[in-house]
Amino acid sequence: MSVAPKPRPITAHDILARKGKDRLVVVTAYDALFGRLVDEAGVDIALVGDSLGNVVAGFDTTLPVTLAQMIYHGSAVRRGVSRAMVVVDMPFMTYQIDVTTALTNCGMVMQQTGAQGVKLEGGTVRMAGIIGAVVETGIPVMGHLGFTPQSVNALGYRVQGRDDKGAHQLIDDAKRLEQAGVFSIVLELVPAELAQRITDAVSVPTIGIGAGPGCDGQVLVLPDLLGLNDTFAPKFLKRYANLADTVRDAVRAYGEDVRGGTYPDAEHSF
């Protein structure tokens, strides 16, 4: 009996080819189970975000997340995913110092997780130089502009590019990342009109989060869109389920059965 071949994983080349055609669906995943579920649901990219610092570890920011943690979670997601492209966030200060540090750490993530790409924040001339060097080694890089969570202490948690100077800076940064060779750019907390201008100005796909409908794709944090993280409610978030209530109700029902002596019963005993 023949065995069906595994689906070919989506690559950076595939993502680039989608520009101006099909919209890209991106969600975060942090373990093998949810990696498998989002993959089976047909997402294009499973992003192993350093947002795990907030939604998994309970930190206030992403800054405490370590390289070892990203490798652990990245490799777990990769084991659950067979079709979607797996991209791993590079955590704070693992790539900003210099090219050598960035190459060493990005290479380690690729080697130890099996991911097909990494994500680096920022679009300054210096960052574009680092990203270009990483791309030149054969590592696909997703860029990230607008509100960049690793710069929260400098930027604050707010929409970026509201004035002319900020808008022009983001457009220039996006073009710089395009020239550096990124295969896509996340735009976070950017006015919708500006996100559309950036999308039109570059030949690589843009992926929005809080950046309006004009981007080439969208990304959401999985626990947010599932309603598991029910205390987080920014304007851009649409919840597609309310699983926090489902979880609480299920655990309460289990507790009632245990306390009442009705679980386990004969059906659930050996």
Burial of 36 (0-12, 13-18, 19+ CB in 10 A): middle
Q: How many CB atoms lie within 10 A of CB 124?
A: 12
188 is catalytic: yes
The phi and psi torsions of 255 (rounded to 5 degrees) equal: -60, -40
| Catalytic entry in 188, 193, 256, 267 | 188
* Residue with the two structure tokens 């659950």: 80
Residue of 64, 77, 66 lying closest to 29 (CA atoms) = 77
Residue of 27, 26, 32, 111 lying closest to 67 (CA atoms) = 111
**How far, in whole angstroms, is CA 221 from its chain's centroid?**
7
Q: How many CB atoms lie within 10 A of CB 99?
A: 17
Dist CA 49 CA 117 (whole Å)? 12
Q: What letter would DSSP give residue 191?
A: -
Give the residue numbers marked as catalytic: 188
